Chain A
Amino acid sequence: MTDTLTVRLYNVRFGDAVLITVPDRDPKSKKVITRRILIDVGNVKAGEGGDDKVFKPVLESILNELGGEPLDLYVMTHQHMDHVQGLPYAGWKVFPADDLAKRLAPRHVWLTASAAPDYYDRHDKARKQKLEADRQLQRIALYLQTRAPALQPLYASYVANNNPQETEQCVQFLRQLNPKNTTYVYRGMKMKGTHPFTEAKLDVWAPEEDTSDYYGRFEPLFLEDGDGTEGALAPAAAPVAPPGVDLGAFLNLLEARRAGMSDNLLNIDQSANNTSIVFALEWRGWRLLFPGDAETRSWKTMQREGVLKPVHFLKVAHHGSHNGTPDGDLFEAILPAQAPDDRRRRAAISTWVDTYPGIPHAATNQRLATRCTLKSMLDDKTQQYIEIECEG
């Protein structure tokens, strides 16, 4: 085993839980130490892909793999429930109080930069955008709950996954895993002392320190809910077409005025995804990429900054969405048509059906399969994990 690096994607339905086992040789002593990185652990709290029962067996397996040794590095890529809720859930509901944190005992913790408690004090533009995003989300959630319950299933995964209060509670749990050795990570920061690896190299490609770059413009939103503040919802009924106004066109207009809801929910969701820690692990000639849920805007920034390189393994971003693996120059940069060497190229997707509209995206996964061997959790929904091995 000491000559094999293993990547294990646990089946948590729609979410991520990735355990990487790395034989790490000390260049001086030549001694090989088996080190482990755990990325995320969570699943979405809506739809088919949300089932909390998965966490107990997954955590038991992880603890079993650790064999009583501390985890070397825990990485929270970004603040979405399908990436953060697994450990707190298990800590609060599966294992006795504080037991999970003690048993994992991570020596180092990486959380994405914007999870730092003082982050928004230091980044005024990002703070304004986050406040607006939270306000929009609250308004839409309230509208769906009180006015449009029929629409709830369509948007449930977006609303639940971005819930600011619940994600903050989970992140607070993760901050306490090892407060002294927690690093809020962004590209370009000094990483010395933030992990114990000596042979393996960890290279952070994203996110930017200032995440305001990842927000798009919010569309005007009309939900016949007053100005969206709590309590303003009560009296107003949907307006009625005045005499002489084409009824069909009027109803169509009301619907069009609500259409900003889709744009804004996607904007909120994507901007959080784009704050994902994206890092490459280089080990004995292999390059493995773990991009969290990075979407197009983050990939474009990485390309602009010139950090993208060909990889041998890709943890497919954003559960196999189109935006998680954009086509074109970006795709060519990480999985070029002409492989740079003769090592095997592989990719794996942790995903589930009937959870997020359009994910996984069949055409994107077909495209991936043209460049590498692709494994998906949907190949066998009963499998406990997908495992990839790299020979040292």
Chain B
Amino acid sequence: MKLKVPVIVKDPEVSEWKDIRPTEDVEITSESSFLDGPTSPRVAILDFGPKTGELSPPVKFIPPSKPTEPGGYAVQHPVESGGRVARDATNVSVFGAIYKAIEMFEEPDAMGRRITWAFGAPQLLVVPRAGEWANAYYERESHSLQFFFFKAQGNGVIVHTSHSQDIVAHETTHAILDGLAPDLFNAISPQSLAIHEGVADLGAVLCALRCRELSETVLKSTNYSIERSNIFSGIGEQFAGALSENRDYLRNLLNNKSLDPNAPAADRVDRSEPHDLSQVLSGALYSMLLATYEELRGVRRSPSGKHIVEPSEEEFNQRKLQRVSGTVGGIGEAMKALFLAGERLKRALFRGLDYLPPGDVTFADLGRAILAADQASHPDSEAQRDDMRAEFVRRGIVSNAKELAVQTRFDMPVVQALNLDEFIESDYAAYRFVEANRHLLSIPAGVTFCVRPRLCVTKLYWHRNGPEEAKEVLLKVVWTEQEANPAGDGLPAQRRWLRVTTLIIDYKTKKIHGLLTTTRGDADREDTTQMLRRLQATDVLRLDDNALGPDRRPLRGAVQGLVVEGALRLKHAGRMLHIVSTGF
């Protein structure tokens, strides 16, 4: 069944100040049924009154008049520019924004399958008015997204985080990513948590890029240069402005943030703080989006000097001439280029997440995963990969491009001999394979490991001669390793981190599309030490039962440190993304 719902465009601030229609119509195509609420098998809006705790009446579902027509919801008070947003409009908008993000991830050329939630139940519960606080978050334990509201500094206007498509998309991406890589949430390394944050910001950007009217307005107002605007790159414009009148954005992805200790002071980040740190990754990938866009428009060659997407040298020069002479290059061309650039980033990032060995990962690990996924699907398009390597070097994520080298499309005799269907279905077969090939998978002798359920995914790849389906088998093996913990301050002298290997096999040819194992260097260990010290100093990290309340449930404001055989590991470290600071 199809459903069409009005969703508030990006951010109320944007709608109000930039002459954009306040809502866009979002079409939902992935569900078989809807109920009042809005409620679907996968998402339910629960509008608790923040004062009474009572549930507000649901918004009525309007079934489609014909099977080919979309259904809808009876919004009595549609959103108007500059006007107050009514409850029913909010609830429908949040519902639509969540589905916009979900369906983007599920597209055949992205994940190519229905996403599942990390909490092991079918339905994500959404509370659009969770109470007064400058915050919004995804909470695995309660299967929910919580959107708070708060009074703006200065004018005292109540700001609802649920009114920002940005924020809704960001939190939904956290939930989706948690389903894809649940181990990230228990990571002990700041970069793992920063990947959660950075990907969530990029999810918000990609959703914003899909709003045609917003793209058109921005491109027209900037003479087609999105580098001149922060509308796409600025995350949480209204939110940040309400926190402080001097603040434009919570985070800006158009940045030069770097891990390089020699970078200018303004570009250096606190390597132990995941929000700050995330800007390095999201900034790097946003730069890729910009480069692709400029290349597609024939404005600027890619930094590597090669073409990123399709045109040959001749085609590029021809396009440049046409644009300069005014025969092409109007708004339609620019909008197409921007859309394609967004799609390219979406595919690279989301496929990379499938290849990522989750656990205690680094930005470099994600970089290698993205490169491997791209190289496996498009072995001949090296240009964007070269640019990405250069960008990761420029931002100090790796010291040289060789660190990002990955091997794809190669043969492994032990895999050629595998019965893949049995390998997918049978845990026994999978364990037997891993045990027999520890060395190949970088698993130390004697270490206990866990084989995650194998995934068999079919994805759509775009090539010059049209789309092509590819089927891949994903194996992820997880184990823990121990290292010294110099954090002191009463914490155990040892700590554990999660190491993972991902093996990606082409179902048809049994060629290896990727073999990736997480890496960890001295700088990563030092980042973890600093993060633990900060959590300890602020009393957020609590060991064992001290993280539990009198009812033996985890305290909301704490990250639990478990001491297992004298070594520390963190549980629900992802909580620190929303409890240690105001924001989202």
In the assembly, what is the distance between CA of A355 and CA of B36, in Å? 47
Tell me, in angstroms, the Cα distance from A244 to B39 when the chains sit together. Answer: 7
Which listed residue, A219, A224, A357, touches B556 by the CB 8 Å rule? A219
B342 within 8 A of A: no
- The answer to whether A225 and B53 have CB atoms under 8 Å apart is yes
The CA of A265 and the CA of B53, in the complex, are separated in Å by 20
CB of A262 within 8 A of chain B?
A: yes
State whether A328 touches B490 (Cβ < 8 A). yes
- How far is B48's CA from A250's CA once the two chains are assembled, in angstroms? 12
- Contact among B51, B131, B143, B489 with A328 in the assembled complex (CB-CB below 8 Å): B489
Residue of A nearest to B148 (CB): A220
- Measured CB to CB, the closest approach of chain A to B549, in angstroms, equals 3
CB within 8 Å of B: which A213-235 residues: 216-217, 219-227, 232
Chain B residues numbered 213-264 whose CB sits less than 8 Å from any CB in chain A: none
On whether the beta carbons of A242 and B39 are closer than 8 Å, the reply is: yes
B555 near A243: Cβ-Cβ < 8 Å:
no
Q: How far is the CA of A155 from the CA of B37 in the complex (A)?
A: 36
> Using Cβ atoms and an 8 Å threshold, which residues of chain B touch A217?
557
179-220 of chain B: CB within 8 A of chain A: none
- Please tell me the number of chain A residues within 8 Å of chain B, measured between CB atoms: 51
The answer to whether A263 and B556 touch across the interface, beta carbons within 8 angstroms, is yes
Minimum CB distance partner of A331 in chain B: B490
For the complex, is A297 an interface residue (Cβ under 8 Å from B)?
A: yes
* Stretch from A8-16, A48-56, A160-168, A251-259 forming part of the interface with B: A251-259
A249-B550 in contact (CB<8A): no
Quick check: B490 and A154 within 8 Å, CB to CB?
no
Selecting from A20-28, A59-67, A319-327, the interface stretch reads A319-327
Total A-B residue contacts, Cβ distance less than 8 Å:
131
Closest CB-CB distance, B28 to chain A, in whole Å?
15
Which residues in A have their C-beta under 8 angstroms from that of B46? 242, 245, 250, 253
Contact residues in A for B546 (Cβ distance below 8 Å) = 322-323, 358
A154 and B549 alpha carbons, distance in the complex (Å): 10
Partner of B53, one of A239, A259, A261, A330: A239
| A189 / chain B contacts, CB cutoff of 8 Å | none
Residue from B52, B550, B552, B556 having most chain A Cβ neighbours under 10 A: B550
Cα-based distance from A217 to B53 in the complex (angstroms): 22
By CB atoms of chain A within 10 A, which of B48, B490, B543 has the most?
A: B490
Question: By the criterion CB–CB under 8 Å, are A259 and B553 in contact?
Answer: yes
CB distance from B41 to the nearest CB of A (A): 8
B69 CB-CB contact with A under 8 Å: no
Q: A260 near B: Cβ within 8 Å?
A: yes
Name the residue on A nearest B132 (C-beta).
A220
B139: contacting residue among A227, A246, A256, A328, CB under 8 A = A256
- Give CA–CA (A44, B298) in the complex, Å: 76
Pair B490/A327 contact, Cβ less than 8 Å: yes
Q: Is A151 an interface residue (CB 8 A)?
A: yes
Among B41, B489, B539, B551, point to the contact of A297 (Cβ < 8 A).
B539
Q: Is A158 an interface residue (CB 8 A)?
A: yes
Asked if B44 is an interface residue, CB under 8 A from chain A, the answer is yes
In this complex, what residue of A is CB-closest to B125? A253
Closest CB in chain A relative to B135 CB, distance in Å? 9
Q: Distance in Å from the Cβ of A137 to the closest Cβ of chain B?
A: 14
Answer whether residue B35 sits at the interface, using C-beta atoms and an 8 A cutoff: yes
**Chain B residues, Cβ within 8 Å of A260:** 556
- The reply to whether A245 and B555 contact each other, CB–CB distance below 8 Å, is no
A329 sits at the interface (CB 8 A): yes
Residues of chain B lying within 8 A (CB to CB) of residue A250: 46, 125
Measured between C-beta atoms, what is the minimum distance from A72 to chain B in Å?
37
Q: For B58, list chain A residues within 8 Å (CB).
A: 242
Report yes or no: A246 in contact with B550, Cβ–Cβ below 8 A.
no
B82: interface (CB < 8 Å): no
Query: Which chain B residues lie closer than 8 Å to A239 at the CB level?
Result: 48, 53-55
**How near does chain B come to A134, taking the closest CB pair, in angstroms?**
18
The interface size bin for chain B is 35 or more
Residues of chain B lying within 8 A (CB to CB) of residue A128: none
CA distance A297 to B538 in the complex (A): 8
Residues in A neighbouring B37, C-beta threshold 8 A: 242, 244-245
Q: Is B123 part of the binding interface, using a Cβ–Cβ cutoff of 8 Å?
A: yes
Q: Select from chain B the residue with minimum beta-carbon distance to A219.
A: B556
Q: Which residues of A contact B36 (CB under 8 A)?
A: 242-244
- Which among B35, B36, B546 has the greatest number of chain A C-beta atoms within 10 A? B546
Instruction: Name which of A154, A227, A257 has the most chain B CB atoms within 10 A of its CB.
Output: A257
In the complex, which residues 300-335 of chain A have their Cβ closer than 8 Å to any Cβ of chain B? Answer: 300, 322-323, 326-331
Give the residues from 174 to 221 in chain A that come closer than 8 angstroms, CB to CB, to chain B: 216-217, 219-221
**Cβ–Cβ contact A256 & B51, under 8 A:** no
Q: What is the bound-complex CA distance between A242 and B46, given in angstroms?
A: 9
- Contact residues in A for B551 (Cβ distance below 8 Å): 151, 154, 262
Contacts of A244 in B (CB 8 A): 35-37, 39-41, 44
A55 to chain B: closest CB distance in Å?
Answer: 26
- Bound Cα distance from A243 to B143, whole angstroms: 18
The docked-state distance in angstroms from the alpha carbon of A62 to that of B558 is 43
Least CB distance from A87 to B in Å reads 28
B491 on interface, CB distance cutoff 8 Å: yes
Judging by beta carbons under 8 Å apart, are B130 and A220 in contact?
yes
**B40, B489, B552 — most chain A CB neighbours (10 Å):** B489
Give Cα A253 to B142, complex, Å: 5
Q: Is B408 an interface residue (CB 8 A)?
A: no
Interface residues of B in 24-49 (CB under 8 A from A): 35-37, 39-41, 44, 46, 48
Residue of A nearest to B141 (CB): A256
A100 on interface, CB distance cutoff 8 Å:
no
Q: Is the Cβ of A262 less than 8 Å from the Cβ of B550?
A: yes
Contact across chains for A220 and B133 when beta carbons are under 8 A apart: yes
- How would residues 47 to 86 of chain A score, 1 for a CB under 8 Å from any chain B CB and 0 otherwise? 0000000000000000000000000000000000000000
Q: Are A226 and B557 in contact (CB under 8 A)?
A: no
Complex contacts, B48 vs chain A, CB 8 Å: 222, 239, 257
Tell me if B144 is interfacial: C-beta within 8 Å of chain A.
yes
Judge whether B537 is part of the interface by a CB distance below 8 angstroms: yes
Question: Do the beta carbons of A226 and B549 come within 8 Å of each other?
Answer: no
A101 close to B (CB within 8 Å): no
User: Complex Cα distance A239/B52, Å?
Assistant: 10
Contact B143 A249 (CB under 8 A): yes
Closest CB in chain B relative to A81 CB, distance in Å:
17
Given the interface pairs A236-B54, A357-B550, the reply to whether A256 lies near B557 with Cβ below 8 Å is no
Does any Cβ of B come within 8 Å of A296's Cβ? yes
Name the B residues within 8 Å of A262 (CB-CB): 549-551, 553, 555-556
Say how far B447's CB is from chain A's closest CB, in angstroms.
28
Question: Chain A residues near B379 (CB, 8 Å)?
Answer: none
Contact A249 B123 (CB under 8 A): yes
Complex: A259 Cα to B537 Cα, angstroms: 24
Q: Do B144 and A296 have beta carbons less than 8 Å apart?
A: no
> In the docked arrangement, what's the CA distance between A347 and B245, Å?
54
A329 touches B488 (CB 8 A): yes
CA distance A322 to B548 in the complex (A): 12
B199 to chain A, nearest CB (A): 25
How long is the Cα–Cα vector from A223 to B146 in the complex, in angstroms?
16
A330 to B121, CA, bound (A): 44
Answer yes or no: B332 CB below 8 A from chain A CBs: no
Known A224-B53, A262-B551: A246·B121 in contact at CB below 8 Å: yes
Q: List 17 A-B contacts (CB under 8 A).
A: A158-B550, A224-B54, A239-B48, A244-B36, A244-B37, A244-B40, A245-B44, A246-B44, A249-B125, A256-B141, A256-B144, A259-B549, A263-B556, A300-B539, A326-B490, A329-B490, A331-B490
Sorted from nearest, which 4 A-B pairs have the closest CB atoms? A262-B549, A328-B490, A327-B490, A256-B142
Give me the interface of B with A, judged by CB distance under 8 Å. Answer: 35-37, 39-41, 44, 46, 48, 51-55, 58, 121-123, 125, 127, 130-133, 139, 141-144, 148, 488-491, 537, 539, 543, 545-546, 549-553, 555-557
Apart from A216-B557, A253-B143, 7 more pairs, CB < 8 Å: A220-B148, A242-B37, A245-B44, A250-B125, A259-B553, A265-B550, A328-B488
